[in-house]
């Protein structure tokens, strides 16, 4: 005993020093990243994606919610890049994330601003640059015997799992299965000195047969068994696991609200335990339900693999207005949004009082029809100049033909100004990729392209069509007419050619005429535009101008 006692000169501190000889005291970091000086109830939250080269619409949704909460409370929203899983990383992954947030005007107050640059006093905001910090906190746990080095190889851990599986026991590294948890400090030190590979595990004080109660801002009250898993906190490459980095970072970055995907809800017992054992105050959690898709009657998560609309890049490529996407996301985030919008059709979404408590517990169904409908409304409220600028920006990247059409800015503004700025503005454009189709006939060089045969509706006889357009051009058309005179002249034309002057009269006695003024208008409209449905024909003619109208009608 005495011999052994003599040998016991090593304690947890010595072991911690052996493992992380250069790590700083945690007090250094606690002072370096002080409590934030914000007003009471200010929310500090973050978007913390991995740079995998793909930004999921669900991620953007979380970022938007976090941004709304911080904005409304004069808090701080930051972007932290979680790149500790270096296998999953792609080149320029951070740039992709930064640009997506920029595209949707969800700008972080702090954090990464380019692939390599950042702003703010709580960085580095890229986890791979925070190795020293994690190791300091791992050392702190080791010093107290709350963490330990584990020498089990991947094969041994797999072996354990198999045994548990065949014995139908809960899998994992815990309790009696946690072999290395019971090594003495000397045994562990010996192995380290012999060059054995190891990782650092958390020594969980939890018991599976005890329950914890947790209040989640979105999910409400939830009960969980305590965590008893000795999870890995520092991996063989010296970097932390998500769980450990989450605790250290959100503590040091002084996050008040962790707003994240509900796939992490079941990790809450572990996270609360980590915060507790590290001596940190735990943040509040808000676990967001995923955006779902109706797949032939089955509700499932929007999938990166199956659904193009799962990627944030999709919305940009399709030209769905940024404002429409944000408005749609707010719509699914807060069920009160829709009523608010109805009552305040002209207010900016910034005026909406977003409420985290009102987020739905289950996942909202993604509804493209609704999104495009919002797109239509959003675009209908824009000025011609705004539509022009957005369409041009989109076209420059995705549609050269449209960009060329729009080059004639003065004319294009007139085209886009048709039925705009009035009480009932045109609502035929839901996304920038619709613009070309909705205005292409207004451009002579496109209109006179091929030999298309149009559908003139009720009047299909070629000679009759010719007669209508010729008579109109020769006897009635005058580009200087005001709208009333113009319309009266079309009625005159109808009457002259034996059609009903008024639709109402025709409907009362349809046998009296071959058709009515509306059928005549349709012929003119189709001849002018190739389509039966267009915005106001008078405005169209005004924008086309005398020469183009005459050319089209003859
Ligand atoms: N990197 C984690 C993820 O993308 C972050 C989760 C969190 O927000 O804490 O799922």
pLDDT (tens digit, 9 = 90+) per residue, 255-285? 999 999 999 999 999 999 999 999 999 999 9
Distance CA(250)–CA(260), nearest Å, equals: 12
Q: What is the CA(67)–ligand 1 centre distance, in A?
A: 16
Q: What is the CA(102)–ligand 1 centre distance, in A?
A: 19
Q: What percent of the chain has pLDDT over 90?
A: 90
Distance CA(135)–CA(392), nearest Å, equals: 51
- The pLDDT of 35-42, averaged and rounded, is 96
The strand pairing partners of 17, in sequence order, are: none
For the chain, the farthest-separated pair of C-alpha atoms sits apart, in whole angstroms, at 124
Q: Tell me the C-alpha to C-alpha distance, in Å, between residue 532 and each of 448, 458, 462, 524, 526.
A: 17, 11, 16, 9, 5
pLDDT at 457: 84
pLDDT in tens, 477-489: 999 999 999 999 9
Distance CA(49)–CA(101), nearest Å, equals: 12
pLDDT at 86: 76
pLDDT-based confidence at 360, cuts 50/70/90?
A: confident
For residue 250, the ligand 1 atom closest to its alpha carbon is 9
Calculate the average pLDDT of the chain. Answer: 94
pLDDT at 5: 43
pLDDT at 1: 41
Question: Looking at ligand 1, which residue's alpha carbon is closest to its atom 1?
Answer: 49
For residue 260, the ligand 1 atom closest to its alpha carbon is 8
Q: What is the CA(112)–ligand 1 centre distance, in A?
A: 15
Residue closest to 421 by CA, chosen among 456, 384, 387, 467: 384
Q: Which of 45, 77, 81, 82 to mutate to test the pocket of ligand 1 (most atoms within 8 A of CB)?
A: 82
pLDDT at 2: 43
pLDDT at 87 over 80: no
Inter-residue contact 426 to 418 (CB < 8 Å): yes
The beta strands (E) that lie in 191-323 are given as: 199-202, 211-216, 220-225, 232-234, 257-261, 284-288, 292-295, 298-301
- The pLDDT of 403-432, averaged and rounded, is 95
Report pTM.
Answer: 0.90
pLDDT in tens, 138-163: 999 999 999 999 999 999 999 999 99
For residue 62, the ligand 1 atom closest to its alpha carbon is 8
For residue 47, the ligand 1 atom closest to its alpha carbon is 8
Please give the backbone phi and psi of residue 416, each rounded to the nearest 5 degrees, phi first: -70, -20
pLDDT at 507 over 90: yes
Q: Tell me the C-alpha to C-alpha distance, in Å, between residue 222 and each of 217, 218, 248, 269, 405.
A: 11, 11, 24, 10, 58
pLDDT at 4 over 50: no
Q: Which of 49, 130, 268 to mutate to test the pocket of ligand 1 (most atoms within 8 A of CB)?
A: 49
Q: What is the CA(260)–ligand 1 centre distance, in A?
A: 6
pLDDT-based confidence at 455, cuts 50/70/90?
A: confident
pLDDT at 451: 60
pLDDT-based confidence at 362, cuts 50/70/90?
A: confident
- The pLDDT of 117-143, averaged and rounded, is 97
The strand pairing partners of 221, in sequence order, are: 215
Q: What is the CA(82)–ligand 1 centre distance, in A?
A: 7
* DSSP β-ladder status, 292-295 and 298-301: antiparallel
**Taking the alpha carbons of 532, 535, 536, 539 in that order, is the dihedral positive or negative?**
negative
Q: What is the CA(45)–ligand 1 centre distance, in A?
A: 12
For residue 259, the ligand 1 atom closest to its alpha carbon is 8
Q: What is the CA(86)–ligand 1 centre distance, in A?
A: 15
Please give the backbone phi and psi of residue 195, each rounded to the nearest 5 degrees, phi first: 80, 15
pLDDT at 238 over 70: yes
pLDDT at 6: 44
**115 CB-contact burial (10 Å; exposed 0-12 / middle 13-18 / buried 19+):** middle
pLDDT-based confidence at 196, cuts 50/70/90?
A: very high
Q: Which of 108, 243, 260, 290 to mutate to test the pocket of ligand 1 (most atoms within 8 A of CB)?
A: 260
Q: What is the CA(64)–ligand 1 centre distance, in A?
A: 15
pLDDT at 486: 97
Inter-residue contact 94 to 139 (CB < 8 Å): no
pLDDT-based confidence at 456, cuts 50/70/90?
A: confident
- Provide residues with CB under 6 Å of ligand 1: 48-50, 82, 246, 258, 260-261, 264
pLDDT at 8: 55
Which is higher by pLDDT, 255 or 357?
255
* DSSP β-ladder status, 257-261 and 284-288: parallel
- The pLDDT of 108-129, averaged and rounded, is 97
pLDDT-based confidence at 363, cuts 50/70/90?
A: confident
pLDDT at 450: 63
Q: What is the CA(54)–ligand 1 centre distance, in A?
A: 14
Q: Which of 242, 259, 271, 285 to mutate to test the pocket of ligand 1 (most atoms within 8 A of CB)?
A: 242
Range in 128-137, 369-378, 445-454, 538-547 the model is least confident about: 445-454
pLDDT in tens, 278-322: 999 999 999 999 999 998 889 999 999 999 999 999 999 999 999
* DSSP H or E stretch at residue 296: none
Q: What is the CA(59)–ligand 1 centre distance, in A?
A: 9
Distance CA(417)–CA(411), nearest Å, equals: 10
């Amino acid at each position: 005993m005495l011999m052994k006692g003599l040998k016991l000169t090593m304690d947890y501190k010595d072991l911690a020093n052996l493992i992380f000889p250069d790590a700083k005291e945690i007090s250094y970091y606690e002072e370096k990243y002080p409590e934030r000086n914000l007003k009471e109830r200010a929310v500090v939250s973050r978007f913390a994606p991995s740079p995998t080269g793909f930004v999921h619409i669900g991620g953007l949704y979380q970022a938007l919610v976090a941004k709304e909460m911080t904005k409304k409370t004069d808090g701080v929203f930051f972007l932290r890049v979680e790149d500790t899983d270096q296998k999953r990383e792609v080149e320029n992954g951070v740039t992709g994330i930064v640009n997506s947030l920029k595209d949707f005007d969800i700008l972080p107050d702090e954090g990464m601003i380019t692939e390599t640059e950042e702003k703010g006093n709580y960085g580095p905001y890229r986890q791979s640059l925070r190795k020293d910090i994690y190791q300091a906190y791992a050392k702190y746990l080791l010093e107290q015997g709350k963490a330990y080095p584990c020498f089990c190889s991947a094969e041994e851990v797999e072996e354990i799992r198999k045994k548990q599986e065949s014995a139908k026991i809960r899998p994992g590294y815990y309790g009696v299965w946690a072999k290395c948890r019971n090594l003495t400090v000397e045994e562990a030190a010996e192995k380290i000195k012999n060059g054995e590979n190891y990782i650092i595990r958390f020594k969980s004080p939890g018991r599976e047969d005890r329950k914890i109660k947790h209040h989640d801002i979105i999910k409400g009250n939830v009960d969980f068994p305590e965590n008893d898993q000795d999870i890995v906190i520092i991996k063989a490459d010296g970097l932390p696991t998500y769980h450990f980095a989450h605790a250290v970072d959100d503590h040091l970055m002084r996050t008040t609200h962790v707003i994240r995907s509900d796939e992490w809800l079941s990790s809450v017992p572990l996270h609360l335990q980590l915060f507790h054992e590290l001596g940190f105050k735990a943040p509040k959690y808000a676990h967001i339900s995923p955006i779902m898709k109706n797949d032939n009657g089955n509700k499932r998560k929007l999938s990166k693999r199956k659904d193009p609309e799962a990627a944030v890049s999709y919305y940009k490529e399709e030209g769905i207005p940024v404002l429409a996407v944000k408005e749609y996301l707010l719509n699914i985030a807060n069920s009160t949004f829709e009523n608010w919008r109805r009552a305040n059709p002209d207010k900016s979404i910034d005026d909406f009082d977003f409420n985290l408590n009102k987020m739905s517990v289950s996942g909202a169904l993604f509804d493209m029809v609704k999104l495009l409908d919002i797109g239509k409304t959003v675009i209908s409220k824009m000025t011609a100049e705004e539509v022009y600028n957005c369409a041009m920006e989109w076209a420059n990247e995705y549609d050269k033909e449209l960009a060329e059409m729009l080059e004639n800015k003065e004319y294009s503004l007139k085209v886009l100004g048709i039925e705009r700025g009035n009480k009932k503005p045109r609502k035929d454009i839901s996304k920038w990729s619709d613009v070309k189709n909705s205005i292409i006939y207004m451009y002579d060089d496109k209109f006179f392209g091929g030999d298309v045969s149009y559908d003139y509706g009720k009047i299909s006889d070629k000679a009759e069509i010719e007669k209508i357009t010729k008579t109109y051009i020769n006897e009635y058309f005058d580009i200087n007419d005001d709208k009333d005179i113009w319309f009266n002249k079309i009625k005159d034309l109808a009457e002259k050619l034996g059609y009903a002057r008024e639709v109402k009269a025709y409907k009362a006695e349809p046998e009296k005429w071959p058709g009515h003024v509306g059928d005549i208008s349709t012929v003119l409209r189709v001849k002018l535009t190739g389509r039966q449905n267009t915005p106001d024909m008078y405005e169209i003619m005004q924008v086309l101008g005398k020469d183009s109208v005459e050319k089209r009608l003859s």
